[in-house]
Amino acid sequence: MLDPSPQRTPFLMHTGATAIDFAAKHAEAITLSALSPHTLAPRVIALRHAAARHGRDPRCLKIFAMLAPILGSTDAEAQAKFARAMGFTSIEGGLVFYSSVTGVNFSQLSLDNETSGGGNNDVLVGGTSRTPKWTPQNLGKLMAVGGNGAVAVGSAQRVADTMEEWVQIADIDGFNISAVVTPGSFEDVVDLLVPELQLRGLYPKRQENGTLRERVYGMGQKYLRNDHYGSTLKFTDS
């Protein structure tokens, strides 16, 4: 027998935009992927509305977007890193990966013809008239660098601006940072991006204590919130 953890129930995360109702009922945090904040925004709205239908505070559902930052001390340095990374990419490999995510068979499409989404593909490249226009060729390039999330290239100031734009447009709570190279991508985040976010009051300046759930919801919230479905299943004194 083991003693229960301080949280008892682990912090509950859901990945992807499928099973919206399930995620809105059970998840505390959700990671989503999109190439544009305008594409992401309608899914965030749908998730928060679904959480409300389950009697939850829509803001308690924390939503994180995938982001691959390519950082430099200047925009030019970051662009040089991006160009070097692109030199190792395979358009075909990127499209194979993207096909595994969306179920779209890109071998049936011309590399230079615009794709407007449809079906699962719409989850990443569709959305509104304000989303970028994509071809299989530049989709393959982007997927080969950043996976199925967005790529932000530039100085810490420029990438921080991009992150703030995503938060404002898509109403997300944070980011799931992915790496283009390891450990270099994460080192750049720590050395360049975090200090800039701290200057903007967007990242804590000192290490936070407590459980993961307390870091998300605030100190003292070690267990599931009272409006979470799982809290109805806890043992109580009879």
98 touches 104 (CB < 8 A): yes
Q: Which of the residue ranges 6-20, 25-39, 83-97, 98-112 would you say has the lowest mean pLDDT? A: 98-112
Contacts of 163 (CB under 8 A, 6+ apart): 67, 152, 175, 197, 202
pLDDT band for position 92 (cuts 50, 70, 90) = confident
pLDDT band for position 133 (cuts 50, 70, 90) = low
Q: Which of the residue ranges 45-49, 133-137, 176-180 would you say has the lowest mean pLDDT? A: 133-137
131 vs 165: which has the higher pLDDT: 165
35 vs 160: which has the higher pLDDT: 160
Instruction: List the one residue out of 42, 35, 13, 38 whose CA is nearest residue 121.
Output: 35
Instruction: List the one residue out of 120, 183, 174, 178 whose CA is nearest residue 146.
Output: 178
Q: Which residue has the tokens 């959305």?
A: 127
Contacts of 117 (CB under 8 A, 6+ apart): 124, 125, 126, 127
Does residue 39 sit in helix, strand or coil? Answer: helix
Give mean pLDDT, residues 206-222: 91
CA dist., res. 193 & res. 82, Å (int): 16
Q: φ and ψ at 177, to 5 degrees?
A: -80, 130
pLDDT(118) > 90: no
Mean pLDDT, all residues of the chain: 87
- How do residues 5-27 score in pLDDT, each as one tens digit? 899 999 999 998 778 999 999 99
194 vs 98: which has the higher pLDDT: 194
- How do residues 45-72 score in pLDDT, each as one tens digit? 999 999 999 999 999 999 999 999 999 9
In this predicted structure, what is the pLDDT of residue 126? 47
- Domains of the chain are 13-224 (3.20.20.30)
